[in-house]
Structure 1
């Protein structure tokens, strides 16, 4: 299905290397967007996260970057055809190149559902390699960008596998960043954690907030928590 219909917008994902996925919609639904006026979405893909954040915060201006041309074209199309088009801008660029051209730019929220296959067998399709595969340097660059381009009270929020989350938590202090929140995501209650939504800020908090989140309560049956965070977006809820 090339067009995915949400309650307040549509996503055309035809020819986009990274389709709509659970990771993206969970980050879009749960990122702390309340006080963010300027938002950056790195690796926007179809634009799904940026559109969800625009729906959740009607005052935010959002820039969405993607290095893949097909993704950029599709995100731009989806933005242009949404109710939030005046506050959304798609840009065909990597985040390092973007900040080379905008060295003083700062954001209240930087989000990303980044590539996460480190040193793994790559797909023969180049565009899928870009969207799904990376190395440690990508994450070091991401932390460095956050160090210099978050506003004083800004937040970097990522959804990543557990091993990458732990790596980032160990590296954060090198970039003067502090863990703010960690949502531990499981498919089922009796299964291991598969993802973290991990948040970093420049401000050191008295304690880190940890939360558990389960996607399913039974085979093919979404949990109440999942339905609650996505009820404003998914037509089926």
Structure 2
């Protein structure tokens, strides 16, 4: 049976992908700052949805996706080829560690990721979901250290993370010379405690720009801010 998520400008085939199109990916794709980026890397691209959203938002960019799972990588490649942005999208099936270590001299203006983020938790029995959802502290150290080596002079790294993981990632980033430049707290409702943060890391150290975004204004009612953010992407708006 087909498993297609239809956006306004492209479709995302999700067949065989452990991580389906979800709110985290949509928020990262819609909120990441990249208007001055000519080269973007999407680490752990999965279905390719974040890369596709960035290609739609920024028509002068080229987006590389890297994905370790062969089936997900093949699906993302298909989604890229079937999109209106296929000439500005490319896919490599590899771990990000191998990809970046083998890309000496290659730099990016923006590196994004909706990474595995369940640290020190019970592993999922499904191996594909385990790869997609779980990581350890070494994963984030390697992600930051290798990405830092491939940033252009004003390049940035943008991640969406749970708050507890974000605190650890921000501390690790500072250790290697990357600083928190902006943060967007994601809340279910205006009165809720934030459950995710979109963080932007880069150099130099600057005053941190902080914002909030509530997904809903009431039960089953999307907020005006969320609707406005995703009106060019989701068919429900």
TM-score calculated relative to the size of structure 1: 0.98
**In structure 2, distance between residues paired with 1:211 and 1:124:** 36
Q: Which moved more, 1:95-104 or 1:151-160?
A: 95-104
TM-superposed CA distance for 1:204, in Å, is 1.8
Cα pair 1:183 1:211 within 8 Å, conserved = yes
TM-superposed CA distance for 1:203, in Å, is 1.8
> In the alignment, is residue 108 of structure 1 matched against residue 95 of structure 2?
no
**Which residue of the partner structure matches residue 44 of structure 2?**
43
> In the alignment, is residue 220 of structure 1 matched against residue 220 of structure 2?
yes
**In structure 1, distance between residues paired with 2:155 and 2:37:** 8
**In structure 2, distance between residues paired with 1:119 and 1:34:** 36
**Which residue of the partner structure matches residue 208 of structure 1?**
208
**Which residue of the partner structure matches residue 234 of structure 1?**
234
Q: After TM superposition, list the pairs within 5 Å mapping 1:35-74 onto structure 2.
A: 35-74=36-75
> In the alignment, is residue 87 of structure 1 matched against residue 88 of structure 2?
yes
Cα pair 1:108 1:155 within 8 Å, conserved = yes
RMSD: 0.9
Cα pair 1:147 1:202 within 8 Å, conserved = no
**In structure 2, distance between residues paired with 1:174 and 1:160:** 19
TM-superposed CA distance for 1:97, in Å, is 0.1
> In the alignment, is residue 165 of structure 1 matched against residue 166 of structure 2?
yes
**Which residue of the partner structure matches residue 142 of structure 2?**
141
**In structure 1, distance between residues paired with 2:196 and 2:80:** 28
**Which residue of the partner structure matches residue 183 of structure 1?**
184
**In structure 2, distance between residues paired with 1:221 and 1:18:** 25
**Which residue of the partner structure matches residue 3 of structure 1?**
4
Deviations 1:139-196 (A, max 9, x none): 1111102321111111100000001111112222211111110000100112111000
SS in 2 for 1:193: coil
Cα pair 1:189 1:217 within 8 Å, conserved = yes
Count of equivalent residues: 236
**In structure 1, distance between residues paired with 2:15 and 2:104:** 34
Cα pair 2:101 2:146 within 8 Å, conserved = no
TM-score calculated relative to the size of structure 2: 0.98
Runs (4+) off by over 6 Å: none
TM-superposed CA distance for 1:90, in Å, is 1.1
Unmatched runs of 5 consecutive residues or more in structure 1: none
Deviations 1:119-156 (A, max 9, x none): 21122211111001110111111110232111111110
Cα pair 1:115 1:134 within 8 Å, conserved = yes
**In structure 2, distance between residues paired with 1:170 and 1:178:** 9
**Which residue of the partner structure matches residue 77 of structure 1?**
78
**Which residue of the partner structure matches residue 198 of structure 2?**
197
Q: Which moved more, 1:95-104 or 1:22-31?
A: 95-104
**In structure 2, distance between residues paired with 1:67 and 1:83:** 25
Cα pair 2:100 2:147 within 8 Å, conserved = no
